[in-house]
C-alpha cells in the first residue's frame, strides 16, 4: 500500500535556508572540449585544472549569494529560490574567451568582512565611496569595497561591495592611491588604503556542471549570460 508523505512548506523553507541562504557560489568557465563530467566519477580537482586562466580576455569567476528574501512562496508542489544570473564579458582584446563547460562551485575565499585598515590615506575627505577596486599580492581576485570616511578624515570604515574569490585571511589588500584620488577620497601623495580580510568563506567543491551543445567562443566584446534556478519539491497536498 502506498502511503502519502507530506513535507510542509515550513520544512522546505528550512531546507532552503540551511543549504543556500547566506551561502556563496562561484561560476567558473572550463575549457575541456570532449570531456564529459560525471558526478562522483570525474576527478573534480583534475577537471578544474582546465578552467580558463584568470585574466584571459578579461575572465574572472563570478560570485553570487542567496538571502532569505530569495525564498519564494510555495507553488507547484515546491518552493524555489530567486533566479540568479551572471554575465561574462569579453574585454575587446584579440584573445578569444573559449569554454566548453560551466561549473558552479561552493564559494571559497570570498571576503565577508574586513579588519580595521592598517594604513590609511592622509587628508581624506569625509564621505562614502562605493565600488573601489582592490589589489593584492596574495591569491585573491576581484574584491570591491565601499569606504566611509568620517570625523574629518580620521575614521575609516571598510565594507565589502563584491566579495571576489580565492582570498586567504593573510592576504594584504590595497586600494591604490590612484584609485582613491580618482574617487575623490584624497589627493596625490596622500597614500594607499591597506587592510586584510577578517572572515572569508570556505568551500570550493563543485556543486553542478553544465555543458553547452558546442564550445562557446567569445570575441569582439560579446557576452555570455548564465541563469541559475533552484527549486525544492516535496509538498504533498
23-76 pLDDT per residue, tens: 999 999 999 999 999 999 999 999 999 999 999 999 999 999 999 999 998 888
102-116 confidence digits (pLDDT tens): 999 999 999 999 999
Q: What is the pTM of this model?
A: 0.89
Element (H, E) at 221: none
- What does residue 37 show for φ and ψ, rounded to 5 degrees? -85, 125
| Among the listed residues 55, 72, 68, 65, the one whose alpha carbon sits nearest the alpha carbon of residue 24 | 65
Greater pLDDT, 7 or 139: 139
Mean pLDDT to the nearest integer, 211-220: 97
Whether residue 57 contacts residue 222, with contact meaning beta carbons closer than 8 Å, is answered with no
| Cell, residue 214 | 558546442
What pLDDT score does 175 carry? 98
Cα–Cα dist 89/174, whole Å: 25
Amino acid at each position: 500500500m502506498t502511503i502519502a508523505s507530506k513535507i510542509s512548506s515550513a520544512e522546505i523553507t528550512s531546507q532552503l535556508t540551511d543549504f543556500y541562504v547566506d551561502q556563496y557560489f562561484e561560476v567558473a568557465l572550463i575549457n575541456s572540449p570532449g570531456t564529459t563530467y560525471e558526478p562522483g566519477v570525474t576527478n573534480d580537482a583534475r577537471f578544474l585544472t582546465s578552467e580558463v586562466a584568470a585574466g584571459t580576455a578579461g575572465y574572472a569567476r563570478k560570485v553570487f549569494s542567496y538571502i532569505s528574501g530569495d525564498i519564494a512562496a510555495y507553488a507547484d508542489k515546491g518552493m524555489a529560490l530567486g533566479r540568479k544570473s551572471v554575465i561574462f564579458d569579453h574585454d575587446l582584446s584579440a584573445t578569444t574567451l573559449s569554454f566548453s563547460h560551466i561549473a558552479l562551485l561552493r564559494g571559497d575565499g570570498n571576503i565577508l568582512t574586513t579588519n580595521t585598515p592598517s594604513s590609511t590615506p592622509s587628508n581624506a575627505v569625509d564621505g562614502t565611496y562605493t565600488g573601489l577596486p582592490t589589489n593584492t599580492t596574495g591569491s585573491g581576485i576581484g574584491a570591491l569595497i565601499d569606504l566611509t570616511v568620517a570625523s574629518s578624515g580620521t575614521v575609516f570604515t571598510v565594507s565589502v561591495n563584491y566579495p571576489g574569490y580565492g582570498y586567504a585571511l593573510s592576504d594584504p589588500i590595497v586600494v591604490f592611491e590612484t584609485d582613491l584620488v580618482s574617487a575623490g577620497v584624497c589627493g596625490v601623495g596622500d597614500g594607499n588604503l591597506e587592510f586584510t580580510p577578517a572572515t572569508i568563506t570556505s568551500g570550493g567543491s563543485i556543486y553542478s556542471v553544465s555543458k553547452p551543445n558546442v564550445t562557446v567562443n567569445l570575441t569582439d566584446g560579446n557576452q555570455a549570460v548564465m541563469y541559475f534556478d533552484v527549486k525544492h519539491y516535496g509538498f504533498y497536498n
